[in-house]
């Protein structure tokens, strides 16, 4: 195991966590955006985005356990769009209302996004703490060598 491996693992988790928080923030900011994307000449609402994260190593988890030292951190594999249906809201005065007076609103639930943001924020803080502990351990190991 490299002396810098714990720092590399924490830094990869910090990068993924930051990406998660950025996407969640984008979802919250666009929770009322009815013109998210132009498709076939027609505007569709913003679609909630989600981040998919997986381990960086290519070996399965059982192989990591056999090697005892297999952790390589995490990586963002892709950003997907949530395919849940849009929410119809009755607002005949809205410029994007259909002939029945309904406006299709984004599939973003602010409460769920806030819970996800709090969870991602706590995970980010935990990884900062782990990074600082790894840095302190490395410095102490260097002090022993003096």
pLDDT at 3: 75
Strand partners, 50: 80
Q: How far apart are CA 17 and CA 5, in angstroms?
A: 18
Mean pLDDT of the residues in the chain? 88
Q: What is the mean pLDDT of residues 15-37?
A: 94
pLDDT at 50: 95
Helices assigned H by DSSP within 35-145:
61-67, 110-144
Q: What is the mean pLDDT of residues 78-82?
A: 94
In sequence order, what are the residues at sequence separation of 6 or more whose Cβ sits closer than 8 angstroms to the Cβ of residue 102?
Answer: 88, 89, 90, 91
- Is the pLDDT at 129 greater than 70, yes or no? yes
- Is the pLDDT at 91 greater than 90, yes or no? yes
What is the extent of the structural domain holding 9?
5-144
Q: pLDDT-based confidence at 66, cuts 50/70/90?
A: low
Domain count across the chain: 1
pLDDT at 62: 61
SS3 at position 58: coil
Q: What is the mean pLDDT of residues 67-89?
A: 84
- At 38-65, the pLDDT tens digits run 889 889 999 999 999 888 765 666 665 5
Q: In this predicted model, which residue has the larger pLDDT, 73 or 127?
A: 127
């Amino acid at each position: 195991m490299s002396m810098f491996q714990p720092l590399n693992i924490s830094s990869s988790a910090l990068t993924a966590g930051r990406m998660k928080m950025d996407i969640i923030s984008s979802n919250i900011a666009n929770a009322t955006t009815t013109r998210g994307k132009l498709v076939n000449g027609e505007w569709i609402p913003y679609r909630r985005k989600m981040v998919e994260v997986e381990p960086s190593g290519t070996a399965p988890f059982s192989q990591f356990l056999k090697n005892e030292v297999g952790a390589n951190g995490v990586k963002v594999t892709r950003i997907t769009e949530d395919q849940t249906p849009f929410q119809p809201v009755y607002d005949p005065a809205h410029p994007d209302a259909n002939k029945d007076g309904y406006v299709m609103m984004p599939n973003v639930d602010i409460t769920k996004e806030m819970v996800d943001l709090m969870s991602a924020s706590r995970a980010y803080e935990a990884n900062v703490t782990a990074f600082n502990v790894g840095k302190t351990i490395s410095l102490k190991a260097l002090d022993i060598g003096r």
